[in-house]
Amino acid sequence: MTAPSTDPSPAVGTETPAASSASSASFVALRVLAVRGLSVRFTMRDGRHVAAVDDVTFDLAAGECLALVGESGCGKSVLASALLGLLPANARTAGSAVVDGVELLGAGERTLARTVRGRRIGLVPQSPAAHLTPVRTVGAQLAETVRALTGLRGTDARDAALTAAARAAFPAGHLDRYPHELSGGLAQRAATAIALVGDAPLLLADEPTTGLDRELVDHTADELRRHADEGHAILLITHDLAAAARTADRVAVMYAGRIVEIASAEAFFGSLGPRHPYARGLLNALPEREFAPIPGLPPELGDLPAGCAFAPRCPRADDACTVLPRLAGGVACHHPEDRHA
Amino acid sequence: MLELRDITAGYDRREPVVRGASLTVAPGEAVGLLGPSGCGKSTLAKVAALLHRPAAGQVVIDGEPVNGWRHAAPRTLRTAVGVVFQQPRLSADPRLRLRELIAEPLRAVGRSRAEAAARALETAEAVGLTGELLGRRPHEVSDGQLQRACLARALVLRPSWLVCDEMTAMLDASTTAALVNVVEDYRREHRAGLLAVGHDRVLLDRWCDRTVEWSRIAQA
Ligand code: SF4
């Protein structure tokens, strides 16, 4: 698989945040992440190959939040692991992923540890309580991250820790607490503060709302939105469409390892709706909509049908769909919903 | 009727996490219990599923108080209530293949291997699991597939009551709707009652006949 040539134009789709938020206007041309033809293949023990991520291309600009949505096993967490260099040894990558001038694919562990994790990509983890070390106070963990990432010592380190805490809206008076003494919301902010220390231009939020109450989901979503408005690029990986609707400027839908639709959040969640049959089905499954599941199960990544992977579940499938649809005009489908009908 | 009468429950000698909670589910009725995380609703769900002995109060099924608790109620009584939890990876034995996971409750109540296998297959199909998937172990399937297996396991003894504690909290919208449909089909066919515990009001309102707030049924 060859990566398409990287075009020098500004990031795709940056019009949306620029139009909707004046405060992010100055970040518009700054492409933080460029992913081109990214594929991740696992070699299984029996010698089979499984394409968990296949030919994924997208851009992400400063001040913009892109939500990557899809069901579990669709490849979205593998994509996150690829960006962080955290793939298992049996994984092979192809294509390119450049964050803030650094190529991530094939980068050595030293480069990743020294220039990427925490410095170019801050990770806002799933279940922050589990991500924090239980036996040390939030302040101690924050200070340690500051020392590791910035080399600052003493009062300078303390100041940097306080700044990160303030930016994550973590109350300074709680820095001497242990993770288990924090509410779910504060634990989430503590983990976010740690992600903010290195001033990474890209924040990667991996299922940050799983298992949270709706109120806390909204709160977490709003905090992420605020970090985007302050100039971070945010990649929000989630199965929670409500959180995506609340936070994102654009939505990318993954199915069986491929992006099948990428659209502005306004069009996607608004009256126009998605154009890809899978994306439409996913939205229709929400309890506030039809509450109707998409029939069948997602396909096995090691055993994909020829052509469109959604065909066995798709009401619009026909002979044309035995040919793999390419992503064109934001949708990978031979019979997408026509917006102009 | 599945009745929870004035239940107080907790862990060891610590402060109880549930105080004076009362709730009734009629046969064939679907009741949603809404509450914030950490309020004690999961502990009450375990009591209703006869898996956690209350410190005070009574669980009454069809007029008969549940007695003979050790940590859990006697197995013969427990077969009346099926339960599904939020995190399938914590509740499913990682060594079992999905078909064994689903058949195990039948084996535990003394059904023959052949009968257990046949019934497990039937139930697996009802939750959308077929073929080669059933030969896999939990780490070889997705969260959604594993949760389908856990639901099948809860239904395989054809319980009169079902307790679903945040069953869909980790799942995408389509899998959520699919699992709710399976539960509803089962309830229609067997006139089973449901206690669905969760924090998602939109979901529980759509799913259940009535929804009650934790603060209305338990003491603070
Ligand atoms: S390409 Fe065909 S099968 Fe695939 S989503 Fe579009 S209509 Fe359905």
Tell whether B51 is covered by a domain: yes
Q: What is the pLDDT of residue A16?
A: 40
Pure H helices in B20-142: 41-48, 75-78, 88-91, 98-108, 113-126
CA nearest A142: which of A113, A171, A115, A114? A171
Residue A45 reports pLDDT greater than 60: yes
- Distance spanning both ends of chain A, measured CA to CA: 36
Question: Is pLDDT above 60 for A17?
Answer: no
What is the structure's pLDDT at A27?
Answer: 43
Residue B175 Cα, gap to closest chain A Cα (Å): 7
What is the domain extent for residue B15?
2-80+159-217
Measured CB to CB, residues of chain A less than 8 Å from chain B are 70-73, 184, 210-216, 239, 241, 281-283, 285-288, 291-294, 296-298
Please tell me the distance between residue B19's alpha carbon and the centre of ligand 1 in angstroms: 53
Mean pLDDT of A70-96: 91
Share of chain A above pLDDT 70, in %: 90
Residue A306 lies in a domain: yes
Q: Is the dihedral of CA B147, B164, A70, A283 positive or negative?
A: positive
Number of folded domains in chain A? 1
pLDDT value for A130: 67
Q: Between residues A277 and A166, which one has the greater pLDDT?
A: A277
The reported pLDDT for the residue numbered A330 is 95
The answer to whether residue A188 scores a pLDDT higher than 90 is: no
Q: Is A275 in the pocket of ligand 1 (CB under 6 A)?
A: no
User: CATH number for the domain including B29?
Assistant: 3.40.50.300
The letter for the amino acid at B178 is A
Q: Which contiguous run of DSSP H or E holds residue A262?
A: strand A258-264
Residue A9 has pLDDT above 50, yes or no: no
- Kindly indicate the confidence band of residue A29, based on its pLDDT and cuts at 50, 70 and 90: low
Give every strand in the sheet of B64-65, ordered side by side. Answer: B18-25, B2-9, B56-61, B64-65
Tokens of A108: 């050595």
What does the pLDDT average to over B25-32?
97
| Sign (positive or negative) of CA dihedral A302, A305, A307, A313 | negative
Question: Residue A235 sits in a domain of what CATH number?
Answer: 3.40.50.300
Structure confidence by residue, pLDDT tens digits, A239-295: 899 999 999 999 999 999 999 999 999 999 999 999 999 999 999 999 999 999 999
User: Which among B86, B174, B202 has CB closest to A293?
Assistant: B174
Nearest CA in chain A to B168: A211
A13-17, B111-115, B181-185, range with the lowest pLDDT: A13-17
Q: What is the mean pLDDT of residues A317-322?
A: 97
In total, how many domains does chain B have? 1
pLDDT over 90 (residue A312): yes
Residue in B closest to A238 by C-alpha: B172
Phi, psi dihedrals of residue A204, rounded to the nearest 5°: -110, 110
A338 belongs to a structural domain: no
Nearest to A71, CA basis, from A233, A253, A231, A335: A253
Question: Does A6 map to a domain?
Answer: no
pLDDT at A3: 42
d(CA A194, CA A128): 11
Shortest distance between the Cα of B173 and any Cα of chain A, in A, equals 5
Length, in residues, of chain B: 220
Q: What is the mean pLDDT of chain A?
A: 86
Q: Which of A253, A254, A275, A321 to mutate to test the pocket of ligand 1 (most atoms within 8 A of CB)?
A: A321
B144 touches chain A (CB under 8 A): yes
Find out whether B73 and B46 touch, Cβ atoms under 8 Å. Answer: no
Chain B hits for A212, CB-CB cut-off 8 Å, are 37
Is the model's pLDDT at B136 over the cut of 60? yes
Instruction: Note the pLDDT of residue A180.
Output: 83
Q: Work out the end-to-end distance of chain B between its first and last CA atoms, rounded to an integer number of angstroms.
A: 26
Q: Which two tokens stand for residue A152?
A: 């600052």
**The pLDDT value given to residue A225:** 94
Residue B94 falls inside a structural domain: no
Are A51 and A257 within 8 A, CB to CB?
yes
| Residue in B with minimal Cα distance to A212 | B37
- Supply the residue whose CA is at minimum distance from atom 6 of ligand 1: A333
Burial A284-312 (b: 16+ CB within 10 A, else e): bbbbeeebebbeebbbbbeebeebbbbbe
pLDDT over 90 percentage in chain B: 81
Mutate which of A314, A319, A337 for ligand 1? The one with the most ligand atoms within 8 Å of its CB, which is A314
Which of A310, A324, A337, A338 has the most ligand 1 atoms within 8 A of CB, as the residue to mutate? Answer: A310
Largest CA distance in chain A: 68
What would the pLDDT profile of B117-128 be if each residue is shown by its tens digit?
A: 999 999 999 999
| Distance from the B108 Cα atom to the nearest Cα atom in chain A, whole angstroms | 30
CA dihedral angle for residue A248, residue A252, residue A254, residue A260, rounded to 10 degrees: 150
B76 touching A, CB under 8 A?
no
Alpha-carbon distance of B139 to B1, in angstroms, equals 38
Coil, strand, or helix at residue B21? strand
Does B68 fall in a domain? yes
- B149, B117 contact by CB (below 8 A): no
Q: Which atom of ligand 1 is nearest to the CA of A314?
A: 8
In a domain, A328, yes or no: no
**B138-196 pLDDT, tens per residue?**
998 988 999 999 999 999 999 999 999 999 988 999 999 999 999 999 999 999 999 99
Output the pLDDT for position A37. Answer: 97
Residue A10 pLDDT greater than 70, yes or no? no
Residue indicated by tokens 């004690």: B40
Report which ligand 1 atom has the smallest distance to the Cα of A277.
Answer: 5
pLDDT at residue B54, rounded to an integer: 96
Give the residue-averaged pLDDT of B62-91.
92
pLDDT of residue B210: 97
Among A104-118, A263-277, B42-56, the minimum mean pLDDT is found in A104-118
- Chains A and B form CB pairs within 8 A to the count of 82
Q: What's the CA gap between B94 and A327, in Å, rounded?
A: 39
CA of A54 to the centre of ligand 1 (A): 17
- Rounded-to-integer distance, Cα B5 and Cα B22, Å: 5
List the single residue in B169, B177, B202 with the smallest CB-CB distance to A292: B177
Question: CA of A281: which chain B residue's CA is closest?
Answer: B174
CB pair distance less than 8 Å for B177 and A73? no
Q: What radius of gyration do chain A's Cα atoms show?
A: 20
Dihedrals φ, ψ of B107, to 5°?
A: -65, -40
Mean pLDDT to the nearest integer, A16-28:
43
Read off the pLDDT band of B6 (50, 70, 90): very high
Mutation choice for A interface testing from B139, B142, B174, B200 by most A CBs within 10 A: B174
CB contact under 8 A, A73 and B144: yes
- Whether A25 has a pLDDT exceeding 70, the answer reads no
Is the pLDDT assigned to residue B216 strictly greater than 80? yes
CB contact under 8 A, B176 and A285: yes
In a domain, A57, yes or no: no
Q: Could you tell me which chain A residue has the CA closest to the CA of B200?
A: A214
Q: Which domain holds residue A185?
A: 63-79+108-322
Question: A325 in ligand 1 pocket by Cβ < 6 Å?
Answer: yes
